[in-house]
Amino acid sequence: MSRSSVPAIVPCESYEPRQLREALTAALDTVGGLDWVKSGMRIGIKINLCAARRPEQAATTHPAAAAELTRLLTERGAQVVLGDSPGEPFTPMVLNYIYALGGYRLCEEAGGELNRNFATHPVTLPEARTLKSVSVCDWVTDCDAVINFCKLKSHGLMNMTAGVKNLFGIIPGTMKSELHFRYRDPYAFSDLMVDLNEYLRPVLTLVDAVDIMEGNGPTKGTPRHLGALIAGRDVYAVDRLCARLLGVGEEEIPYLTAARERGLMPPEDAPLSLGEFESFCLRDFQRSGATSSWFLITDEDSLPQRLTKKVMAAALRSRPALFEGCTGCGACARLCPAKAITIKNKKAVIDRKKCVRCFCCQEFCPSGAMRVRRSVIGRILSR
Ligand code: SF4
Ligand code: SF4
């Protein structure tokens, strides 16, 4: 196996700049370094800006980590642009608010540019299993190379989000909700994620796992300290390593199943760990609560196994549910691709018949009132 597909994990106890620089340098050196960066290159850093959140909420790539990576690249003469498109409209007003609240001024101080190009264009994906043509943000394709710098978090639909899912943000704004609706099955949605990764092929994937998110992720969960940075050249190997850290089975993450079915998962190998690997692994990671991927059907399954899994999946399906704290802001209703939510008496009301269980409402509820609820059987089985 080529060592280039083996990811590295290094300890990083805090977001203090000197520690970040040392950890990033060690992680990057372990997976081949930055000698490929040439003066004048335009390098895009695809950070995770899923929503307007403060750094300590652990929903977004930490600005201090993104700033240190920016500094390492600009010191080599690169021009650096950082960006993302959240699920909300891809507009200057939305992004400027997210940049300000998220503390990304640090990246500008490090010599980087926060993306303010809101143009999009269609691209062709001839090898794709899902869309053969899709609109993407210009800023990503205008770069000579892209580095994927994601956050490690729990996720309602996918169980976990790290490198692969982060690239969904190259699709502009609310078009993502439309794609959730179109590819409502987790397998089909996962194929779309893999198609995007195969199209963009970032030169590196980095994971901010200093503080991760568990529970009601990926935007309103609970921060948890893990104390690590991860780097790798193969995004699927990086995400497999992340799954091991969280104690989530690789087969429980639909997009890794999709990658494996296409022969894209590299052979399993021990990660290059600069530190005691087992000390990074969590034994009690809290998932988002969804069970949508518990019974994923694989190529190896026989017909009876497929039928059993379908029945079990139907019995165990999680759904969005309203808990305390709804302010009636209407964000969920605006983003729901199935138009299944209305606001009545200043509270969100879900039409179960229309809901396709994409969990966009849970992801973008600013108050955390919309959450994933397991079925009764799912709750019993997960005890
Ligand atoms: S559930 Fe959340 S997003 Fe929807 S109206 Fe209530 S507070 Fe707003
Ligand atoms: S109600 Fe929520 S989970 Fe259901 S389709 Fe709308 S956004 Fe998706």
When the pLDDT of each residue in the chain is averaged and rounded to a whole number, the result is 91
* Confidence at residue 296, expressed as pLDDT on a 0 to 100 scale: 57
pLDDT digits (tens, 9 = 90+) for 272-331: 888 889 999 999 999 986 555 555 555 666 777 777 766 766 666 788 999 999 999 999
Q: Are 335 and 174 in contact (CB under 8 A)?
A: yes
Going by alpha carbons, the residue nearest to atom 4 of ligand 2 is: 355
Strand blocks (E) in 126-280: 133-137, 145-155, 159-161, 204-214, 222-232, 272-273
Name residue 373's beta-bridge partners: 319
Name residue 209's beta-bridge partners: 228
* Confidence at residue 148, expressed as pLDDT on a 0 to 100 scale: 98
> Would you say the CB of residue 331 lies under 6 angstroms from ligand 2?
no
Going by alpha carbons, the residue nearest to atom 8 of ligand 1 is: 329
Going by alpha carbons, the residue nearest to atom 7 of ligand 1 is: 326
> Would you say the CB of residue 336 lies under 6 angstroms from ligand 1?
no
pLDDT digits (tens, 9 = 90+) for 79-98: 999 999 998 889 999 999 99
* Confidence at residue 312, expressed as pLDDT on a 0 to 100 scale: 66
> Would you say the CB of residue 333 lies under 6 angstroms from ligand 2?
no
pLDDT confidence bin for 3, thresholds 50/70/90? very low
Q: Which helix (H) or strand (E) holds 18?
A: helix 17-30
pLDDT confidence bin for 1, thresholds 50/70/90? very low
Ligand 2 centroid – CA 218 distance (Å):
15
> Would you say the CB of residue 329 lies under 6 angstroms from ligand 2?
no
CA distances to 45, 144, 242, 301 from 206, in Å = 10, 18, 11, 34
pTM of the model: 0.86
Q: Which of 63, 103, 32 is nearest to 211 (CA)?
A: 63
Scored b (16 or more CB within 10 A) or e, 342-364 reads: eeeeeebebeeeebbbbbbbbbb
> Would you say the CB of residue 322 lies under 6 angstroms from ligand 2?
no
pLDDT digits (tens, 9 = 90+) for 37-54: 999 999 999 999 999 999
Q: Which residue has the higher pLDDT, 363 or 139?
A: 139
Scored b (16 or more CB within 10 A) or e, 241-279 reads: bbbbbbebebebbbbbbbbbbeebbbeeeebbbbeebee
* Confidence at residue 2, expressed as pLDDT on a 0 to 100 scale: 43
Going by alpha carbons, the residue nearest to atom 7 of ligand 2 is: 336
pLDDT digits (tens, 9 = 90+) for 173-227: 888 988 988 888 888 899 999 999 999 999 999 999 999 999 999 999 999 999 9
For each of the domains in the chain, give its residue range(s) and CATH number, in order of start.
3-280 (3.40.50.11440), 317-381 (3.30.70.20)
> Would you say the CB of residue 336 lies under 6 angstroms from ligand 2?
yes
> Would you say the CB of residue 51 lies under 6 angstroms from ligand 1?
no
Which of 179, 220, 349, 358 for a ligand 2 pocket mutation test, highest count of atoms within 8 Å of Cβ?
Answer: 358
